Structure 1
Amino acid sequence: MAFTQPTRRRVLQTSAASAAALVSAPYVSGAHAAGSLSVGFWDHWVPGANRATEEIVKAWGEKEKVAVKADFITSQGNKNLLTIAAEAQAKSGHDVFAFPTWYIHEHAAMLEPVDDIMADLIKQNGAVNGTVDYLAKVKGRWMAIPATPGSQIKGPCSRIDLMKQHAGIDVQAMYPAGAAPKADNWTMDTFLTAAEACHKAGFPFGIGLGQTTDSVDTAGAIFQSFGAALVDKDGKLTVKSDAVRQAMEWYAKLAKVLPPDAPAWDDASNNKWLVSGRGALICNPPSSWAVAKRDAPDIARQCWTHGMPAGPKGRFAPYLPYLWGIWSFSKNKPAAKSLLRALSTHDSIAKMVAVSVGYDLPAYEGLTTLKTWAEEEPPKGTLYHYPNPHNHQTLSIAAAPAPPEIANQIYNQAIMTKMVARHLGGEKMEATLTWAQNEVEGFMRG
């Protein structure tokens, strides 16, 4: 089979001709009784992690006599999003594509329903979390299935030593490896007190207030822990609610003890903060720990991934899934569905998790205790609580539960972090809320 990575020129072309060109390369020769199939996968951040997908697809293609062409398309420079737009416009391209978060709803009219696959996968692997249900279902129908590669929780990764020394918190005792959390006292108030103590000691929490996903995801989980939604599930505007004011008041206190350049942070900033040794806590998937393991092993040995603090309305963790969808213009839908089933077995998912060093997260409740998370080190068990094995927290996405077409815009425009940054900069609370309400009303009219 052929595995390729499209060049910048090939991805940036948005005409019908270029969309067709993405699948014009010759397929592997051989006896292909079941035809051919073209798949657009996400190009993994973790070095070597694409290998698991390659091996699974190759084995499936040989067994089913299907010639498979797989492109691993980077999200750097939004090349994967440009490819999605090109193929939707041309109604030609890959049969199967890996869609980020919100893009299933945007392209639902051009996707093949997969209710039959999901019914079997849920029976096989357990129920999926609510965020996958929210993002992958349109008008009650499954339009995509959860992809393991790239799906992630962005929960706290704490320095064991710094949290114990400066905040008096033993994160390993609070979230013991191999056992349920003992985190009843891990609340928003405790989190804020710890942030203030670590800031005073010269090791601030590394939480961004910028406009990229890491900052937005953390803000979303914090808002949800206060029950603070800018738009409710019925599409009603709720910016000027007591819950939003409460979340903003808490966030204003936290923002004062974050790094002074936090409003300018991007998705690389918190990773660098952890690896530099300057911070006691960040919110991120284990990619930052993996980099520390390679570049700063003494720091990696002090890292512990665990759950979010609980607010008045519960404990919410930032969760971002990738989703696999089948284009309605696919010429081999039976093969596409068969491949997605093969990619979603227990053994396939376990292999993806292992090769990604625990970064990738299946969405199914029956697959949160794979041995990779228990065995990865240093220190051993550092990732045990990453996949939420005890259903200790609700996996959520920022701007939910607003209708997805509105939530998407709130998310991509980073309204919540902009609110915090404006208020931190001296704007009065009511002025900030009025600005946010006007912004969201514009999305709703659109």
Structure 2
Amino acid sequence: MAIWSFVVLVLTGLFLMVFFKPDMSPVLYQGVYTPLRGIPVSRAFDSTMHLSLEVRGGLFVRQVHHWSALVFAAAVALQLLRMFVTGAFRRPRVRQWLIWVTLLPLGMAAGESGNILPDDMLSGGSLWLIQSVLLSVPVVGTHAVQLLFGSEFPGESIIPVMYWAHVLVIPAAVAVLLGAREWLVRRNGHSRFAASVPGRRSARPVMAGATLGVLVVLGVAFQIAPIWLYGPAGPGQISAGSVPDWYMGFLDGALRIMPGWELTIGVYTLSLAVLVPALVVPGVFFTVLAGYPMAERLILRRLARHDALGRPKAKGRMAKEGTGPATLDRPREAAVRTGVAAAGVAFYGLLWAAAANDQLAHEFQLSVEAVTIFFRFAVVIGPFIAFWVTHRLCLGLRLRDRHIREHGPESGVIVRGARGGFHDRSGSDDHGRLPAGAAPPR
């Protein structure tokens, strides 16, 4: 899904490049959309309006391009989750794990830079947020803002900079990483569950057709980013009820629920209300993701030293790479790791929901302050609850599997044996022997 959505992104992006003008110089809008006619806009906004409403198929291609960016980020996130809960990040696939970890922030950066290009009202809000985040960085923040925006905000250079980053730098990096991932897969092979059939027919053609078909349906039937409704960007203005794309929702939620704390050190004042949710939280998140394989390997190595039974040493290539068979773990067999994954998903989901604190307050007739306070406690307590519930579920499933291995699958039919004992029809008899026709436990 990630590969084919990226292919669609490249193809539709080439089409959009023909009509889009990354220029912030002012012009008067004279297009077909009457409510905005005669209003001063930038050339970037004017070209996007022309592309959307006057170029044949332009709106369809633009919406497919936007939906492809959302699907790409979702596919990368799901791939990371799948690799995490199944243990597919172990050697020799650590580099593949690091590639997927890098692809997620690259996809987010590509989507955010693309959202800025139309120079509409949402674009202005994103630029204001970028400026605020940069200014919260101590010492170098002011210099970074001047380097990116110039002497005035937003200036006239930000959209050309974002344009070349969006169409050249980020896609080239993504293409290189996906190519490296394909090479590593061919070298190390695909990881699979032990019960899967070797040599099974590849599902790539089916997935390619399904991904392309869904993107086409989304582009035709579901409207996204209607900039004619948002209007051109204006200093100090933002659309009511505007929200970022889904992959940026957790940052928006973190900004909304973070208390307005400030820390003064000498002549510097740190705005923790922006610095912590916008830089510290994602920085810690991606650092933990990237370093988890090494951390788990160190922990397991220390635990192995206390293993009284010991384990046989690997030989040959396995010993060199520090890996076992190329099979995946069932999530229930790694209850702690699966619980950690559930805690991370809960933490992300709560931050994502917190980005709609104003909408939730309106729908449930509550005050925004009450909803915000609820999420401040929920993002701390919720992950622990998710870990405990998931851990208990995994242990329960393991106990059920153990019972099936020892006694065979239960049919729910109780019969009486020759010696007067009662047992399940598919279970063992009074002497522990399986009845005729019953499958032995694996």
- TM class by shorter chain equals under 0.3
Larger Rg: 2
**TM-score of the superposition, structure 2-length normalised?**
0.24
Relative contact order, CA 8 A, sep 6+: which one is greater?
Answer: 1
Quick check: which one's helix share is greater?
Answer: 2
**TM-score of the superposition, structure 1-length normalised?**
0.24
Quick check: which one's strand share is greater?
Answer: 1
